[in-house]
Amino acid sequence: MSGQKNPEAQSTALDDLVAILDLEQLERNLFRGRSPRTGWQRVFGGQVIGQALVAACRTVEGRRPHSLHAYFLLPGAPDIPIIYEVDRMRDGRSFTTRRVTAIQNGQPIFTMAASFQIDEPGFDHAAEMPDVPMPETLAGTGGFAPEALALMPETVRRYFERERPIDLRPVEFERYDGTPRPPRFHVWMKAKARLPDDPVIHDCVLAYASDLTLLDSSLIAHGRTVFDRAIRAASLDHALWLHRPFRSDEWLLYAQDSPNTSGARGFSRGAIYTREGRLVASVAQEGLVRDAGREG
């Protein structure tokens, strides 16, 4: 199960991601997106975040997004196109604000506000990157070390071995052995092939990837994972702040922690760094983490 993956399949997965982020424009503020054929029962939240950000970016010129705040309202159906309606809320001298609503079957399933800013100088400081192994020293997707595979339940192993557009290299493999641990998790990630140079593509791919592992960190303190069949997990909201330029096709460290889980909701935070230690983004998310084994 640790054999090498087909490079052509990996490239195809990334091509598919870039394709689903290339929304069809229906009207001035109306866009249509599709979902990949993955066999999932509902649309991946990161996909909707990424597509909504694309829709917002298509209505703004000369400014990059610096933050987005989103709520997931209903599960998305992967076999139905998603309509993204953009509300041009504000076009100011320095900042631009957009609101995006994702719609299926006439109902909103997701809403997001995004803010854009002109490029301007200012004060500059950032938290330091955690001291963790570099990605080259870690087994990558499809090439896990035997000791790492031994710690992974079958559902977790299948997730990391799945063909995907983003290469994920977790640092703390022992997190999956079922032992409660301090709720911290580090993952190196990058697109599996070179992306176009358009910065918007890199912003939207990062928005997609920021939802891949974050909610799961809220269960580390309890020795559980979102892959546990008794856990009902779903993202409720998602916030992303973009601090500095980056490329999503170069290694980025996603440093995650979970300061609180209560009321069947897990709260997680993330800081994203380049391998040189430059903080490029921050993330926060709350999600449903309900133990179905305790229901009834």
For the stretch 217-264, pLDDT in tens is 999 999 999 989 899 999 999 999 999 999 999 999 999 999 999 999
Tell me: pLDDT of 189 over 80.
yes
B/e letters for 256-278, b = 16+ CB within 10 Å, e = fewer, are bbbeebeeeebbbbbbbbbeeee
Annotation says 235 is catalytic = yes
- C-alpha to C-alpha distance for 50 and 178, rounded to whole angstroms: 32
The model's confidence at residue 209, banded by pLDDT at 50, 70 and 90, is very high
Contacts of residue 237, defined as CB under 8 A and 6 or more positions apart, other chains included, come to 69, 70, 71, 72, 285, 286
- What percentage of the chain has pLDDT greater than the value 70? 91
Catalytic residue among 211, 216, 228, 249: 211
- pTM, full prediction: 0.91
Annotation says 177 is catalytic = no
Beta bridge partners of 287: 235, 266
What average pLDDT does range 31-49 have in this prediction? 87
Q: Where are the alpha helices (DSSP H) in 162-258?
A: 199-209
Annotation says 119 is catalytic = no
Catalytic residue among 10, 235, 248, 282: 235
What average pLDDT does range 117-130 have in this prediction? 96
What average pLDDT does range 166-182 have in this prediction? 91
The model's confidence at residue 137, banded by pLDDT at 50, 70 and 90, is confident
Tell me: pLDDT of 4 over 60.
no
